[in-house]
Amino acid sequence: MALLVPAIGVASSYVAWFAVDATRNLENLRRRPILADTVDDAQAKIRELERQIILADNAAWGGVDLDALEGLQAFFDSGRSPALIRSAIVLDEDGSILAFVTRSGDAERVRFRKVFLERILPDLELDHELVGRHRHLHRSYAGGSYLVSYLVRRHRGARHYLCLQVDLERIVDVTLPALFADIQGKRLFSVVDEQQRVVFGRDLSAAGEFVVRLQFPTTLYGWRLDVAPKQAPVIEASAQRFRRSQVSLIALSVATILVGTLILLYAMSRERRASQLKSEFVANVSHELKTPLSLIRMYAELLSMRRARDSRQEADYHAIILREAERLQALIENLLDFSRMERGKLAVTLERHEIGPLVARAVELFRHQIDPERSALVLEIEDGLGEIVVDEQALTLALLNLLDNAVKYGPPDGEVRISATRRAAEVRLSIVDRGGGLRPDEQKRIFERFYRGENAKLQRTRGSGIGLALVKSIVLAHDGRVEVDSVADRGTTFTIVLPVPREKREVPQGDPQSPQSMVGPAGSS
């Protein structure tokens, strides 16, 4: 038992992990072929865009004559200059500007010159560059994004630096639309800048894990290209529903395992408790059977050996044997009825009976089973109770069980009061003792089979623990109920409440508040 719960917990965790991992692998298998095509398209577009930028750089450098820099502006103004190049700057070995031409207006020209000298030029680290090496710098400065291509040339023994500003606005407005025109019908795409802002295309957050995200490797390396299938949002929504359903099923499975484990533990606990109660029941019943049998045998032997002093003592011995035989018979009948109740075969034969005489007969029958010097029985039956529909034998058995409990748990010389009254459509049969009473928690469990109160165990009072369970079963078979009202050290009242037949539910004659005593105390004789 100590290892069962941890073992089930570990098994449940493994099942959950395995199911989640299998779901993840299944989704990966579904995404793989879709993403493979998307990656191919994205890489092809990146290669093409970088090729166009590098071709524009080379074309621009081809128009730079270090011996005739005054002709650089004319080259830019002619149609031979690549449209992707916005500005060109030539620096000497000391970093001084030898030539600066641009297609921008005066304000933009001044701003770029300032940003270039103060921010961009220090980041180029031209002194460490190799001659003839084509490089790019792509960063954000002063709230704007700049792509600068630069090259080191040696001319007449001195190093010269050629720097080009790539026109990013033209790339976004002209180059990218033309580049992606052929895949617009099957792909979603966007170009995202350093601040994660979409500079071209549309936001692809709805496409989820079906988006391919690739950085530009050499030119626009501060930007990223996102490409997804045209139906990516629909596929992603379907994938999310699938994930949620799988997670729900996994959670439900684990919860089912855990709940099943708890139910199993509860059932095992109840079974263990029931087994313990049955063991106590067997011991109690054995003791209950042994006591009257021992008395019967002892007094029978005394009679057979003629040990009685006189006829009066002989009559006492016969009375004891008779009383213990009746007690033994009652116990056996209880056991048989309880066995039938356990099998669901406890049946009652309902007939009309006068309730007053029925209760009186039960009390008189019980009177012969007890020691008249130990307890006094006081019977109070209200006039005009009329008839009810009951099984006389079953109801008598219920009353005898309640009376037996009242005598056993009451004080040695105490009084047991029995009353029968009628309230509207109900007949109430109450049995009151003056014993130690029941705790509130015991009152909730007192009608459970095999259950015995704390006082019964401490005082080692005889009993099997089935009497009250049998009483409740009999009363329920009559569509009635059993009520218990107990106060510590003041006694306990058990009340059987039975319905009156509908045609007999007239108000009884006489004053219902003043029941007439039919039988006096049993111990008075």
Is 416 domain-assigned? yes
What pLDDT shows up at residue 510? 36
pLDDT score at 301: 86
Q: How confident is the model at residue 26 (pLDDT cuts 50, 70, 90)?
A: low
209-213 long-range contacts, CB within 8 A, separation 24+? 209/27, 209/31, 209/236, 209/239, 210/31, 210/34, 210/35, 210/38, 210/235, 210/236, 210/239, 212/35, 212/38, 212/39, 212/42
> Has residue 480 been placed in a domain?
yes
Residue 488 pLDDT class (50, 70, 90 cuts): confident
Structural domain that includes position 426? 347-524
Are 60 and 43 contacting, i.e. CB atoms less than 8 angstroms apart? no
Is there a domain that residue 62 lies in?
A: no
Indicate if the pLDDT at residue 3 is higher than 50: yes
Predicted confidence band at 336 (pLDDT cuts at 50, 70, 90)? confident
Question: How confident is the model over 433-445, as a mean pLDDT?
Answer: 82
As a whole-number percent, the residues of the chain with pLDDT over 90 amount to 28
Percent of all residues in the chain with a pLDDT value above 70, rounded to a whole number:
79
Q: What is the pLDDT of residue 515?
A: 35
Domain assignment present for 498: yes
Q: What CATH number is attached to the domain comprising 437?
A: 3.30.565.10
| pLDDT tens for each residue of 383-394 | 888 888 988 888
The secondary structure element, H or E, covering residue 18 is helix 4-62
Q: Which of 37-46, 64-73, 316-325, 356-365 has the lowest mean pLDDT?
A: 316-325
Copy the structure tokens of residue 97.
Answer: 């500007």
What are the b/e assignments for 302-331, b being 16+ CB within 10 Å? Answer: beeeeebeeeeebeebeebbebbeebbebb
The reported pLDDT for the residue numbered 112 is 93
In a domain, 393, yes or no: yes
pLDDT value, residue 221:
93
Top mean pLDDT of 29-43, 62-76, 494-508 is at 62-76
Binned at pLDDT 50, 70 and 90, residue 423 comes out as confident
Per-residue HEC secondary structure of 467-483 comes to HHHHHHHHHHHCCCEEE
Q: What is the mean pLDDT of the chain?
A: 81
Q: What was the pLDDT predicted at 159?
A: 93
User: Which of 224, 171, 221 lies closest to 197, judged by CA?
Assistant: 224
**Is residue 385 in a domain?**
yes
pLDDT at 16 over 70: no
What is the per-residue pLDDT across 133-178, written as a single tens digit (0 to 9) for each? Answer: 999 999 999 889 999 999 999 998 899 999 999 999 999 999 999 9
Confidence class for position 1, pLDDT limits 50, 70, 90: low
The whole-number pLDDT of residue 518 equals 33
**Confidence (pLDDT) at 261:** 80
Number of domains present in the structure of the chain: 1
**162 compared with 265, residue with greater pLDDT:** 162
* pLDDT tens per residue, range 447-480: 887 776 666 655 555 656 677 888 888 888 888 9
pLDDT of 257 reads 79
Domain membership of residue 489 (yes or no) is yes
Average pLDDT of span 299-306: 85
Comparing 94-98, 239-243, 363-367, 429-433, which segment has the lowest mean pLDDT?
239-243
Query: Residue 217 carries which DSSP code?
Result: S
Residue 126 in any domain: the answer is no
